[in-house]
A and B are shown apart, each in its own frame.
Chain A
């Protein structure tokens, strides 16, 4: 599609703001789906970390599998902590954290796309509502 833009402005929504768009059920579903794929043998047990360490609304679990014991906490502002008491599990921590962050940011962005489409659809007359190959939402409308 040819670009005929005249004026432009951009914003980058911070990760923590994207996280805040996710309700706890959605957030938990992203985590459980990811672990079911990444570690199908693992069991996920909800666990309440001490409130002195984590703010209210933090979701946390123990992740156990043969020869694996991890703890995972996700705070409402998007801080992800993955820990273990077993030295040989330590190499898993950073990759796991990175993958979860990527998935949760994407889930938050999808939520943002849905909310934006609802807002624009209600306030303006949409002339285009499409999606590009990279998953971007494209809306066109008159204001």
Chain B
């Protein structure tokens, strides 16, 4: 599974799976976040729920920039 990790200069972190299924992302992203938190001295990294990536009710959206906020 391919993952994109974005960390903003204000400490926002976004994890995105870009290959595989949503279920695979749902299973694999939290342990990855936990490992990253442990490696970065952030053992309680407050990761939110893993969600299916959507940009509108039924819409597939194309991004033009890599920004945590835009996701």
Instruction: For A13, give its contact among B11, B19, B52 (CB under 8 Å).
Output: B11
Instruction: For B8, give its contact among A6, A115, A118, A135 (CB under 8 Å).
Output: A135
Please report A residues at the B interface, Cβ cutoff 8 Å.
1-15, 17-18, 20-21, 105-106, 108-110, 112-113, 115-116, 118-120, 123, 127-128, 130, 132-143
| Bound-complex Cα distance A138 to B9 (A) | 11
Contact with A along B11-48 (1 / 0, CB 8 A): 11111111111101110111011011001111001111
Q: How far is the CB of B4 from chain A (nearest CB, A)?
A: 5
A4 and B10 contact, Cβ closer than 8 Å, known pairs A13-B42, A141-B3: no
Q: In the complex, are the beta carbons of A7 and B2 less than 8 A apart? A: no
Number of residues on chain B facing chain A (CB within 8 A): 56
Closest to B9 in A: A135
Please report B residues at the A interface, Cβ cutoff 8 Å.
1-22, 24-26, 28-30, 32-33, 35-36, 39-42, 45-53, 55, 61-68, 70-71
Q: In the complex, are the beta carbons of A11 and B46 less than 8 A apart? A: yes
Q: How far is the CB of A99 from chain B (nearest CB, A)?
A: 15
Please name all residues of chain A whose beta carbon is closer than 8 Å to the beta carbon of B16 when the two chains form the complex: 3, 5-8
Q: Which of B8, B17, B26, B30 has the most chain A CB within a 10 Å cutoff?
A: B8
Please name all residues of chain A whose beta carbon is closer than 8 Å to the beta carbon of B55 when the two chains form the complex: 3
Q: In the complex, are the beta carbons of A134 and B22 less than 8 A apart? A: no
Interchain residue pairs A-B with the least CB separation, the first 6: A7-B25, A3-B63, A13-B11, A135-B9, A5-B16, A119-B39
